[in-house]
Structure 1
Amino acid sequence: MSATLKDRLREYFHAEYKPGERALVRKIDFFILTFCCLSYFTNYLDRSNINNAYVSGLKEELNFVGNELNQIQAAFTAGYVVGQLPANLSLHYVRPRIFFPACMVVWAGLTMVTASAHDVASIAAIRFFQGVAEATTFVGTHYILGSWYTERELGKRSGIFTASGLAGTMIGGYIQTGIQSSLHMRHGLSGWRWLFIIDGIVTLPIAIYGFIFFPDTPATTKAFYLTPEQKALAQSRVPPVPNHSPLSWSFLRKALTSRFFWGFMILWIVAGEAESFSSNALLALYMKSHPVYDYTVAQLNNYPTGVPAAGIVSTLFWATLTDFLGGKRYLVGYFIGITGIVTSALILSASHDADPARSTPTVFGAYYWAGAVYACQATFFAWANDALRYDEHMFRAVVLAGMNLGSNVINAWWTIVFYGASMAPWFRRGMWAMIAVSIALVIWTAGLSYFTARHERELKEEQSPGAQQDEEGKENMA
C-alpha cells in the first residue's frame, strides 16, 4: 500500500476536528440521524406495504384486475408530486421540528385508514393524500443533512439515511409474513388489513420523538441539548450564505434558469427510472405470475427482500467510497448504468428460454443485483448538496425538491407504460426501457460531472488570495 493511500485512509478515519467539534457531531448524529432514519424507515414501511398486501390477499379480496395496482401507485406519485415544492418551501416558514413530525402523524393516520378500504378507488384516494403527506421526507431530510454536515461527512450520513428506507422495504416483507401467520382473520380482519394498522401505529411514537428532539437547522435551532457554544460552532462549520425569502420573481427566475436546477433534475429523472426494477416490486410480480412455480404467501413476501438488502449494501459502500475519494459522486452513475444494462439483458435472455424453470435462478440473480442501483439516492442528492453548498439555502432546497418532483412526474406514467402488472412475468418493454435510461444516465453523468468540476474550480479561483487582492486593487483604483 503506497504512503499516499495510507495517509488518505488515516485522514479519512481519523479526521481532525476543532475543539469541541467531535462532541457536537456526536450529538447531531444521535438526534438528527435517529429521527431521520426512523422516519424514513416508517415512510418506506408505510409506502411499500401496498406491494406486500397485494401479493398477500389484497388482489383477490378487492378484485384487482389489469394494471390497477400500478394506477394506485400512480395516484400516490401524483400526490407526492403535488406536495413536493409546497412542502419543501414550507421549511422556510415552519420549523422542521414541527413540520416533519406533523406530516408523519398525517401519513400514519392515512396508512391505518387504508385497512378499512373495500374497493380500489378508496385505496387510490387514500394513497394520493398519503403521497402529499410524505412529499417532504426524502428531499427535506437531504436539505437538513446538507445544512448541518460538512462535505467530508455528508456522503456517509446520506447513505445511512437512504439505507434506513431500504430497511423499511425489506423488513416490511417479513412483517407481512408474521402478520399473515399470526393475525390473519383475527377479529374478522385479513392479514393485509392488519399490516396497514400496525405500520401506522409504529409511526406515531417516532413523530412524538421528533416534536421533542429534532434540532431544526444550525441558524434556527433551539435544541435544549446544544450549548450556546455548540450552536455557534454548528453555524461556523457550514458556509455563510444568504437566506432570502423564496417568494420573489428574482428567486423563481434564478431557479428556473439555473443550469444546476435542470442538470440535477434531469439526472434524477433518468436515475429514478433506473430504480424501476426495485421500486415497482418487479420480482414479487414475477413470482406471482411465474409460468411454472406457485409460490406461497410467505415466499412472495420473503424472497423479494433480497432486493433492498442489496440496495443497503450498495448504498453504504458507495456513500462511504465517494466520501473517501473526495466527493466523486458521479462514479455511481457509471456503476448504475452498467448494472441496468447487464441485468435487463439477463432477464430479456431468460424470457426467451424454452424452460422457464431453468432460467429462474438467472432472473432472481438479476433482480437482486439490480437492487444495487438504490445507491444513487444517497450519492446523487449528496452531489447536489455539495455543488450548492455556497448558494442560498432555499435555492438548494428547491433544486433538491425539483429533482424529486421531476423524477416522480415521469414515474407516474412510466410505471404503467413499462411495468404494468399485466406485463408480468417478463416486462420485456420495461427491460428495453431500462437499457435506454442506463445509457442515457452514463452520458448525462459525464456531462454534469464536467460542469460541476469546472464550477468548483471557478469558485476556488474566486476565493484565492490572489483573486481577492486583484479585486481590492480594482476598488482602490476606482
Structure 2
Amino acid sequence: MGRVEENTTIYSPDAEAGCNGSQDQLIVEPVKTWRGHIWDTWELPKDQRWLLFKVDAFVLTFASIGYFLKNLDLYNVTNAFLSGMEEDLQMYSNQLVTSTSIYTVGSGFYPGIHYLLGSWYTPREIGKRAMIFWLAGSIGQLFSGFLQAAAYTNLRGVGGYAGWRWLFIVDGIITLPLALMGFLFFPNLPQGGKRTWWTTEAEHILSVKRMQTIGRAGTEHWTWAKVKRISLSWHTYLLPLLYIVWNNGGPQPAMGYWLKSFNRSPPPVPGTSFTVPQINNLPLTTTGLFIVMAFIWGWLSDGLCRGARWPFIYAGAVMTLIFTILMRQMPLYENIHGRKVVYWLSNLGFGAGPLILSWINEICSADTEKRALLVAMGNDLAYVVQAVAPNFVWKTTDYPAAKKGYLWSIILQILLIGVTATIQLLLWRDKKKAALVESEGLITPSRESDNPVMQIIDVDKNKAVHAKVTLVAAGGLAVSLVVSNVAGHTKKVTVSVTTFVWYCAGNVMGPEISDASPGPEYHAGFVGSCICLCCLVVIATAAHIMLRRENAKRNKALGGHADLHSIDEDLSDMNNQNFRYVL
C-alpha cells in the first residue's frame, strides 16, 4: 500500500468512497514518534488533528471545568468545617458526614462524561484525557484550600457573612456560565446518527469511522435477549465492583483534622499549634503530589504501556496499602514531621480511577448499552457506598486517629488486587476461547471431548493430578513458613499482602509463559517452571542458612533460647531479640 499523505486520513470520506463503502479496508496506523508520547494528535493526519482539537476544546474543556467546580464546592464543605463552620452551625456530632451525602445528587455527571469520552476517543487517546478530566476535580480540591484561606483572611465579616460562607456564594456565581456553555456545545454521540452542529459532514463521518475501526459499537434497541446476555455476563458484576472497591478504598483526607487537633485544650503537644490558613494549606501538598503522579500514569498508560491499565491498578493498590498501614500504626504526636510526610505521600497511589473506567469502556466496546450501563453502575454504586460507609468507618468523631477507617482501606486495597487479578484471568480465558473458536471452530460446547484443551489434559490425567496436589501442598507450606517467621502486627500484614500480590502476579504471568509455545509440549511453560523451581531451591536454602545463623547469634547473645515476646507489642522479628525463627 502506498504512503499515506500527511494531510489526509484513512478514515476520511474520500478514503471510504475509494473502498466502495467496505468496512474492511486496511487501517493505517500513524508513524510512532516521540511527539506522539507527549500528545497523541501531533502524529495524526491533519483532518483527525482538527477533529480532535474541536472535541478537546468543546467536550474535554466543558467536562474538566465542570468537574473542577463540582469538586471545588464539595471540598469547600470540609474546608469550611475546619474554618469556622463547625462552631457557627454547632456541628459537633457526625453531622458533617451526613451533610456531604447531598453530593450524591451530582453522581451522574462523572459516569456520563466517561461514557461520552469513550464514544469519541480511541484507546490510545482516552486514558490521558480521562485523567485530565478527573484531575481537574483534584485541582478543584487544591484551589478550595487556597480560596478558603483567602476568603477567611480577606472576606471575613464583609456584608455580615463569615469568610467560609463567601466561597459558596462565589461558587454559585461562576457555575452558571458553565451550565450555559454545556447547553450550547454539548455534542451528540458520533454513532447516534445526528451530526453535532460544530462538526462538518466530513468530520462526522470521520468520527463514526474512528469508532468503527476500534470495534466501538453503535446503539441498539433493548430486547429481552440483550437483557439476558448482559445479566449473564461476568462483566456486569466484576467491572462495576472493581470501580466501587477502588473508589471507597482510599484513605479519607485526615491531615486537616490532625493539624486542628494540636489546637485543642489541653494541647496534645504543648507549644505546637497551627493557624487556620496553615490547616487549609498544608494538606494541599498531598493533592499536588497526587496530581503529578496521576498525570504520569495517564501518559504512561496510553503511551509506553500501549493502553495497558492493569499495571497502574496494582501499583496504586500496593502503594495505598503501604501508606495506609503506616498512617494506622504510627503514633499521632511522637514524630510530627514524619507523619506530615506520610500524609503528603498517602494519595500517590490513588490515581487509577480514570484508567479503570477507560478499561471498562474498552472491554465493553462491542456493546454500547452495556458500556453505558456498567460505567454508570460502577460510579453510582460507588457513590451509594460512599454515602453510607463513612457514617460507620470514617466517623468525624474518630479523627484524627480513624483506626476503623484505615482498617477499612486496608481490606479494600487487598480486595482491589484480588478483583483485578480475577478480571485479568477471565479476560485471558475469553481471549483464548475466542481464538480457538475463530481458528477452525475447535471448541464444541456440547461435546467436551472435542475440545483439544480437554484432550491435552486427558493425555496423562493421573500425573497432572499428582503434580497439582504436590504444588498446592508446597504452596501452602511455603505460605505457612513465611507467616511463621515474621513478628509484629504491621510486618505480618505487610508480608501477607506482599505474598498475595505476588501470588496474583503469578496467576497472571503463568498462563502467558505457558502459552508462549504450543501444546501439548509447552516447552516455554516447562522451562519457566524449571527456572522457578531452581530459584525456589536456592532461595529456600539461603533463607534456611541465614535464619539458622541468626538463631545461633541470638542464643549466644542472650545465653540460650528465650520465647518471652508479647503479642501485644508491635515489634517485628528484627526488633524483638527474643523471637526465634522456625526452621
The equivalent residue for 1:72 is 99
Q: Supply the AA of the counterpart residue of 2:335.
A: S
8 Å Cα contact 2:320-2:347 kept in structure 1? no
The equivalent residue for 2:556 is none
The equivalent residue for 1:297 is 276
The equivalent residue for 1:110 is none
Measure, in 1, the Cα distance between the counterparts of 2:47 and 2:130.
23
Measure, in 2, the Cα distance between the counterparts of 1:207 and 1:295.
38
8 Å Cα contact 1:162-1:315 kept in structure 2? no
Bigger fraction of residues in helix = 1
Measure, in 1, the Cα distance between the counterparts of 2:363 and 2:52.
22
**Matched ranges for 1:44-443 at <5 A:** 44-73=71-100, 76=101, 127=102, 130-132=103-105, 134-220=106-192, 222-239=195-212, 241-246=217-222, 249-275=224-250, 277=251, 280-290=252-262, 291-292=268-269, 293-324=272-303, 325-351=305-331, 356=333, 358-391=334-367, 393-443=368-418
Note closer, same or farther for the CA distance 1:229–1:456 as it changes in structure 2 (3 Å cut): farther
Q: Supply the AA of the counterpart residue of 2:426.
A: F
Per the TM alignment, residue 57 of structure 1 is displaced from its structure 2 partner at its CA by 0.7
Per the TM alignment, residue 165 of structure 1 is displaced from its structure 2 partner at its CA by 0.7
SS in 2 for 1:399: helix
What are the Cα deviations for residues 120-161 of structure 1, in whole angstroms up to 9, with x where unaligned? Answer: xxxxxxx3xx532x1221100000000000111110111111
* Structure 1 unmatched runs, 5+: 1-5, 77-126, 469-478
* Structure 2 unmatched runs, 5+: 1-30, 263-267, 442-583
Structure 1 residue runs of 4 or more that deviate by more than 6 Å after TM superposition: none
Q: Percent identity?
A: 28
The equivalent residue for 1:21 is 48
Q: Supply the AA of the counterpart residue of 1:261.
A: T
8 Å Cα contact 1:350-1:362 kept in structure 2? no
Measure, in 1, the Cα distance between the counterparts of 2:51 and 2:433.
32
Q: TM-score, normalised by structure 1?
A: 0.77
What are the Cα deviations for residues 320-368 of structure 1, in whole angstroms up to 9, with x where unaligned? Answer: 11112122211122112212221122222322x6xx1x42222222222
Measure, in 1, the Cα distance between the counterparts of 2:431 and 2:76.
42
Q: Supply the AA of the counterpart residue of 2:255.
A: L
Q: TM-score, normalised by structure 2?
A: 0.64
8 Å Cα contact 1:329-1:380 kept in structure 2? yes
8 Å Cα contact 1:143-1:397 kept in structure 2? yes
Per the TM alignment, residue 461 of structure 1 is displaced from its structure 2 partner at its CA by 7.0
Measure, in 2, the Cα distance between the counterparts of 1:460 and 1:200.
54
Per the TM alignment, residue 451 of structure 1 is displaced from its structure 2 partner at its CA by 1.9
Note closer, same or farther for the CA distance 1:309–1:253 as it changes in structure 2 (3 Å cut): farther
8 Å Cα contact 1:314-1:374 kept in structure 2? no
Measure, in 2, the Cα distance between the counterparts of 1:177 and 1:404.
31
